[in-house]
Structure 1
Amino acid sequence: MGQLQEVETYLLDGDLDALQRAIDKLEASTDFDALYDVAGLLSEYGFIQEADRLYGILRVHLPDEAQLKIDRAGTLLELGEEDEALLLLSDVKPDDEEYVQALLALADFYQMTGMAEAAIGKIKEAHSLVPHEPIIRFAYAELLLDAGKYAEAARFYLDLLQETDEMGGVSIASRLAEAYSAGAAYEEAIPYYEELLESQATPDILFGAAFAYYQTRQAERAIRLLTELIEMDPDYFSAYMLIGQSHALAENDQKAYEWFLEGIKRDPFDKELRLAAGKSALKLGLPDEAEQQLEEALALDPEYIEPIITLASLYNEREKDEELLSLLADPNGEIGDIPILHAFLAYAYQRLEQFEEAYAFYGKAYDGMREDFGFLERYANFLLEEGRRKEALAIVRELVELDPANENWRAFLEAQTDEEV
């Protein structure tokens, strides 16, 4: 039995003592081919420390061997010795046969550590050296996709699709669908999703295709695929939001609301579904149900701005002023730089006859709402009621500028004395 077979037998049997004796014996060997093969086997079975020891011994005897630099760099990376590994990979020379392999290893390392541009730089260099190698082109496309360069990635995938349907077990059509969708080129993505659906209608592909149809305003097709998806996997939570949105797109608000509620049954902690259900209830004229869903969304995330604004608007419309003040209360007296919320507070304080507070919040809302005719009207009327005529006239002039055809405010302005104006 050869040394490689012997070591593999110990590995398969889990005989670690015998394995260690065999490795100790190999360390003193000058059979470099056997050392190299066993190191690779140990690495394959997850015995990284032992593999690294053998690669280290080989490097002592063969310090200029480029393949050894790459292989040992791999084990060193596994062991967390990144600096030493990078030195070895960087030491592989451009005229070495293994130089492209070293570039790929560097690209892989940089990608794993979040250094996307460095990774792309290495793979780009490799591609320039072997531009027709499919593995390199695929790796380049994968890096571009991961880095958010969707159009560039799609060009590489399209080129590869002329030669093969898949690479390394990955469907090229699925990557094209993903790249086009991620880059918001949904029309281009749809044919690849349709191709995938013919052979592998998995939940993810059904959802991706449905999303592309929704984005291209093909609501009925999206609904059909999402219905199939939910039947296949009722716990695919994202599908409930999208099928509700698709029904809303098809102007079936009742169905949209029902699907949002169904999604909430599946996942009561989804704040976005709660918000969607609240907005849908408002469209259906169900303010009590809307309040409940919006309040639940805020119970899940008290700083979730969109339901705060929507619920504040509803409270204002229903003149639920105490609830509105409670919603927007802040121990520091600030609710952020959101003019519409300041306006709602102004209206609430005015209705509660707390006029100083109302005046303060009208002032806070003003700069951000100077183009809102309704707000300016309320502000002008409030100022007139409070006897702040000079300030009111400044607002009235803005109203006339916004809507010169408004006879009421124009007449009001013209009725003022020259001194007042």
Structure 2
Amino acid sequence: MSHQVIEKALTLIDNGDVEQGLNILRDNQSAFNEEDLFHTAQIYQQLGMLEESKELLKGLLYHYPNEPDLILSLAEVYIDLDEEDEAMALLENIEEEEEGYIQGLLLLADLYQAQGLYEVSENKLLMAKKISPSEPIIDLALGEINLSQGDYKKAIPYYKAVVPHRKEIEFDLEERLAECYSATGQFEEAIPYFDTALQKELKIDVLFQYGFTALQAGYYKTAIEKLNEVKQLDYEYSSLYLYLAKAYEQEGLLQESLGAAKEGLVVNEYNKELQVFAAKVALKQNNTNEAEKLLREAIAIDPGYIEAAITLTKIFLQEEQYEDVVDCLQELIKFGETDPQFDWDLAVANQKLENYSDALNHYRQAYTSFKDDSGFLYDYAYFLLEEGKREEAKVLFEKLIQLDPTNMELQDVYTNLDE
């Protein structure tokens, strides 16, 4: 009879007459047996009446303290009420031989993960896997927890274990595997998973990651295709432009590369990395003025941007604008930035400006970083020779000959110094 009462109440609730259905449950609750009370508690939980559900389940658990279904249901209600400590205390009491033990471990793993206790969470999942090694839900959870910690390599075998069960589990499995393979540098392995993931559902972030991964794998045409698809979906997806420009450059399409970079700067004019990349492409086209303009804009955004400053000083050195080299790098140093390349460039610039004392100081400071760089040693050695420091120069020419023993010019200079 009580079963029919619950069915009647459920029919009313399903038809939208929630209050009348609940009144029937309340009026008849005193006559319900344990199974009916449990069913009523589940109805309350589904309707969001968590306190009512909790009280019924606590009453039942008092009489049946080891019943796993009651423990799990009450724990879920506690979780929904943000009473995690109560839920954890319940779940930890499920004995290993009991039916709900594995489900309890999974719930505990979720709770510990939510609290940031990833190692404890993973241990609970590994305990579950030891009991049920082929359960795909456990493998999926282990994949997820390792992914959340950035341990992509460790996550891959767990996700792959779920692959044979993909029809049973609705989950973006291919997307996860693509992400993991890409993040671990296994770009070629990631490609087919990206293809499958995008066939199932077109997601712009996944499409972007596909383009980025194709670029890293050396599939430049594919990268161009996918990143252009991202652009068509969302012109303001600013992250795409740097990689699209790089893909075009790798294909030798410098004009398209510069065009993509400039498109990106329209979307985000403060993208300093894109400005420097565009400047380097402009330099490959021998467009020095355009490169200088872009580099100055990057430095205006970030006066301490070392890569932009070093690239700009290379232009100044090439154009013999030595005072500009000194001004640019000294301004950078004012911001507390340091780089061994600064000293090398300042040494050359000051040498050309006939500030020989400053030049020598910068050469000596740069030596530690560039003592095996033949270009630096060449500059420094000839500077010392011009300054009459023959013994110091001799040491450097000897190192240069070791690096390039076939260079007859160096051999002749060294011989003269030796004599």
TM over 0.5: yes
8 Å contact from structure 1 (residues 342, 364) kept in 2: yes
8 Å contact from structure 1 (residues 369, 375) kept in 2: yes
Are 1:141 and 2:159 an aligned pair? no
User: Equivalent residue for 1:384?
Assistant: 385
Q: Which amino acid aligns with 1:229?
A: V
User: Equivalent residue for 2:356?
Assistant: 355
User: Equivalent residue for 2:107?
Assistant: 105
User: Equivalent residue for 2:131?
Assistant: 129
Alpha carbons of structure 1 residues 194 and 103: separation in structure 2 relative to 1, 3 Å: same
Deviations 1:109-146 (A, max 9, x none): 33334444333222122122122323222222323333
8 Å contact from structure 2 (residues 304, 337) kept in 1: no
Alpha carbons of structure 1 residues 341 and 164: separation in structure 2 relative to 1, 3 Å: same
Q: Distance in 2 between matches of 1:265 and 1:93?
A: 62
Aligned partner of residue 230 in structure 2, secondary structure: helix
Q: Which amino acid aligns with 2:175?
A: S
Q: Distance in 2 between matches of 1:330 and 1:395?
A: 31
Alpha carbons of structure 1 residues 347 and 109: separation in structure 2 relative to 1, 3 Å: farther
Deviations 1:302-359 (A, max 9, x none): 4444333323333333343444334333697795553222211222222333332222
- 1:331-410 → structure 2 map (5 Å cutoff): 338-410=339-411
- 1:17-416 → structure 2 map (5 Å cutoff): 64-67=66-69, 69-70=71-72, 73=75, 85-165=87-167, 167-168=169-170, 170-329=171-330, 338-416=339-417
Q: Distance in 1 between matches of 2:31 and 2:306?
A: 69
8 Å contact from structure 1 (residues 103, 122) kept in 2: yes
Q: Distance in 1 between matches of 2:9 and 2:350?
A: 82
Task: Measure how far apart 1:415 and its partner are.
Answer: 2.0
- Which moves more between the two structures, 141-150 or 50-59? 50-59
Aligned partner of residue 95 in structure 1, secondary structure: coil
**C-alpha RMSD of matched pairs (Å):** 4.2
Aligned partner of residue 417 in structure 2, secondary structure: coil
Alpha carbons of structure 1 residues 112 and 342: separation in structure 2 relative to 1, 3 Å: farther
Identity of aligned residues (%): 33
Aligned partner of residue 409 in structure 2, secondary structure: helix
Q: Distance in 1 between matches of 2:323 and 2:168?
A: 62
User: Equivalent residue for 1:15?
Assistant: none
8 Å contact from structure 2 (residues 191, 214) kept in 1: yes
8 Å contact from structure 1 (residues 39, 54) kept in 2: yes
Q: Distance in 1 between matches of 2:67 and 2:84?
A: 20
8 Å contact from structure 1 (residues 26, 35) kept in 2: no
Alpha carbons of structure 1 residues 59 and 186: separation in structure 2 relative to 1, 3 Å: same
Under a length normalisation based on structure 1, what TM-score does the superposition of the two structures give? 0.80
Q: Distance in 2 between matches of 1:331 and 1:297?
A: 13
Q: Distance in 2 between matches of 1:352 and 1:42?
A: 85
Q: Distance in 2 between matches of 1:133 and 1:278?
A: 54
Aligned partner of residue 131 in structure 1, secondary structure: coil
Aligned partner of residue 330 in structure 2, secondary structure: coil
Under a length normalisation based on structure 2, what TM-score does the superposition of the two structures give? 0.81
Task: Measure how far apart 1:256 and its partner are.
Answer: 0.6
Q: Which amino acid aligns with 1:125?
A: M
8 Å contact from structure 1 (residues 165, 172) kept in 2: no
Q: Which amino acid aligns with 1:241?
A: L
Alpha carbons of structure 1 residues 70 and 197: separation in structure 2 relative to 1, 3 Å: closer
Task: Measure how far apart 1:92 and its partner are.
Answer: 2.9
Task: Measure how far apart 1:56 and its partner are.
Answer: 6.2
Unmatched segments (≥5 aa) in structure 1: 13-17
Alpha carbons of structure 1 residues 127 and 417: separation in structure 2 relative to 1, 3 Å: closer
Alpha carbons of structure 1 residues 251 and 360: separation in structure 2 relative to 1, 3 Å: same
User: Equivalent residue for 2:17?
Assistant: none
8 Å contact from structure 1 (residues 7, 38) kept in 2: no
Unmatched segments (≥5 aa) in structure 2: 15-19
